[in-house]
Amino acid sequence: MRLNLEGGFVLNKFRVVAACLIALVLAIMIPASFNAAENPALSNTRLTARSEIWKAINAGNAGSGTVAVMENGKIVYAEGFGMADRERSISVDKNTLFNIGSISKVYCATAIMLLVDEGKVELDQPATAYLPEFTMEDERYKDITVRMLLNHSSGLPGTIAPNCFGFEYHKEYYQDVLDTLAKSHLKHQPGEMAPYCNDGFTLAEMIVARVSGKGYLQFLSERVFEPLGLSHTGPNLGQLQGLKEGSAARYYTADGKRDPLEVVSLWGSGGLSATPEDLCKFADTFSASGPQILSPASLAEMKKGQPSESYMQFKHPELSFGLGWDLTEIACYKVKGINVLGKSGGTGNYSSMLYTIPDKRISVAVIFTGSQSGAMVIAASIMEAFLCENGLFDKTPAVLKLPLKAQPLPSELANYEGYYSNGSVLMRLKFDRAENKLTVYTLNGDQETEILSAIYNDGYFHNQGGKYYFITLGGRQYFVQHSATFAIDMIIGQKLEPVAKTSELKIAVDERKWLRRNAKAYEARMLVSEHIITSQQFSELPGYIDFGGIKRVISPASAGMAINSMRDLTELRLSEKDGISWAWVSGMLYTPADVVQSLASGDTNITIGREGYNEWRKVAEDSILDFQIPNKGRVIVFDPADQTIYDSAIDSGPVLATTGSFVEVAGNPGATFKLSTSSSL
């Protein structure tokens, strides 16, 4: 377990093991195609950028990358790395476009502040004043202000994800968000805490469109992109019109297959594309001497920390969220009078980081293909190199220290032992008093897997990954990790208290497999791992279940969020239709795998019904499958271990499916698929 600071669309982090992106040898060896005259004064900045970016690519953590550094309104360094298009041998250059993920949030907050400047929006007015159709089952939603949408303190569950990442824009996304929230509860009182939340920015996007009377992208184009000269900024790559070959950085799978260009339908939260140069140009507007589109008051509001009630209640500060920004300060720079703003971004296929120092008019941006690039740390190392090279910062030399020795565990820690969750998995935290250490296990049925071990010393538990501690806030107990790099604390687990009076669901869910039914054919491959889930009960923890995440059973037909402090939490509702159980998991629909028909030998036609639900079949015996797929249709085959072995989004031809495999077909209502089953080619 380690701290993940990169804000993005990360769902069920401990379930999904990111595939390594193995760069082709040619892609690694070909130099960047941007060969502007090099400034000798920036030799260490270039060296740091090249070293760290190639390290990420060569390690398989990224497929390609790009960087820009701006000072006083001018780009002083920019370079591309790897291949934008492998098939055409086109290298990344300074104009190659990448999706920027959650850096889009700063643009969304800027759009809101433009409306604030016009007197059309007030930050501390309820969001419902501008979106009266926004409702929730939890009456506290009426207390959510516009400010809370932009600083992650709204209490909204997190990310309404179905069909919003993919290969086409999800036209029903606004309505899906409103419909899902109408059935949902808040995870905490508005303003109380600030776990990262994408849905707040989707509502903010809707407010911009409603109040301005223009489409969100049109508003950004007219009020942000054009005035700032951002000619290489726009909607995500999959929505850009008239793209020239090689002008966008393509994402490739670990085995070299090319993904369709990614579409992120959450424009305000993460749906834009840009180049690092354009990111730096945008960041420059936050400098007093940069190009201005906001009033001084609005600029000051966006740059200052926007703390929740829990801020400063930990041993060290939490992330200092601003309006759209992840960071409004970094401790090691702040003590030397350098104010840094930062925003990270991550989608299924891209990762990015933007830092800017408004008072010095310095900005650094990096973008990668691949979600595990480490963009946040790489950009920080480039920024540090640039500041040191310009005499603005002196790096403190690393001090070698002897390994810490374990000290006796304080008796008051005993109360923190028990079961915890990060929303995705169940963890057991156990103290070993003989060795004075903490061990953390994840639970999967009766199996326990050790994921962390740390010794106690001077108020913290230490290992090579960092240091950890426990804290009680508002009667709840939390497991916290401290990041030495950014000098911040982040909750990574919350204790699940025993339920005094437990409820049971009306149907059996222990070790039961469920199949997704409302996945569009264009839904991204990053969400395919959620198309088959297995629900579980825990004999050690009555009243709690794992059903698309850890939940607390509330009634025979529902289970709610078990914790209040983490991102991307979901709720469960059960219903019945035509004798079949249906499970609603915060917008995702599932039916049991045990009611699926077996796939007959020979040819089988499968037609998508008028409701558009995807259909499933189970492979009864080892077979070779071949498909005739209608326009805009998709076929995915899962092996008995629920791993994807074929996806028509990137695969073609026949596939060998062993007994117990599942076949999923998705398409428009009325679309017919022909599946051919045989024992040989």
Model pLDDT for residues 615-664, shown as the tens digit of each residue:
999 999 999 999 999 999 999 999 999 999 999 999 999 999 999 999 99
Confidence band of 681 (pLDDT split at 50, 70, 90): low
pLDDT value at 604 more than 60: yes
Question: Do 152 and 106 meet the contact criterion of CB atoms below 8 Å apart?
Answer: no
How is residue 375 annotated by DSSP? H
**How many other C-beta atoms lie within 10 A of the C-beta of residue 635?**
23
Q: pTM above 0.85?
A: yes
Q: Where are the beta strands (DSSP E) in 460-597?
A: 460-463, 466-473, 476-483, 488-495, 512-516, 532-537, 544-546, 550-555, 558-561, 572-577, 580-585, 588-592
pLDDT value at 236 more than 80: yes
Confidence band of 7 (pLDDT split at 50, 70, 90): low
**What pLDDT is attached to residue 488?**
92
**What pLDDT is attached to residue 397?**
81
Rounded mean pLDDT of 50-61? 97
**What pLDDT is attached to residue 37?**
55
Rounded mean pLDDT of 588-597? 97
pLDDT value at 119 more than 90: yes
The pLDDT mean for the chain works out to: 93
Question: Do 111 and 218 meet the contact criterion of CB atoms below 8 Å apart?
Answer: no
* pLDDT per position as a tens digit, 474-516: 999 999 999 988 889 999 999 999 898 888 999 999 999 999 9
Rounded mean pLDDT of 525-529? 95
**What pLDDT is attached to residue 15?**
37
**What pLDDT is attached to residue 565?**
95
Structure tokens at 650: 């990137």
* Single-letter code of the amino acid located at 438: L
pLDDT value at 519 more than 80: yes
Structure tokens at 321: 């969220």
Residue pointed to by tokens 């939890």: 138
Rounded mean pLDDT of 573-580? 96
* Single-letter code of the amino acid located at 323: L
Kindly state the percentage of the chain with pLDDT values over 70: 94
Structure tokens at 355: 């830092």
Report how far apart, in Å, the C-alpha atoms of 280 and of each of 96, 469, 585 are.
15, 37, 39
What angle is formed at CA 92 by the lines to CA 87 and CA 96, rounded to 5 degrees?
A: 105
Structure tokens at 163: 């069909």
pLDDT value at 428 more than 60: yes
**What pLDDT is attached to residue 18?**
32
The residue among 268, 274, 270 whose CA lies nearest residue 230 is: 274
Lowest-confidence segment of 150-159, 442-451, 645-654, 657-666 by average pLDDT? 442-451
**DSSP three-state, residue 91:** strand
Cα atoms found within 13 Å of the Cα of residue 355, Cβ hemisphere only: 26
What angle, 0 to 180 degrees and rounded to 10, lies between the N-to-C axes of helices 199-212 and 104-117? 40
**What pLDDT is attached to residue 447?**
86
Give dist(CA 60, CA 649) in Å, integer.
22
Rounded mean pLDDT of 403-408? 95
How is residue 65 annotated by DSSP? E
* pLDDT per position as a tens digit, 455-475: 999 999 999 889 999 999 999
Sheet holding 655-657, edge to edge: 602-607, 672-678, 623-628, 655-657
* pLDDT: which is higher, 517 or 241: 517
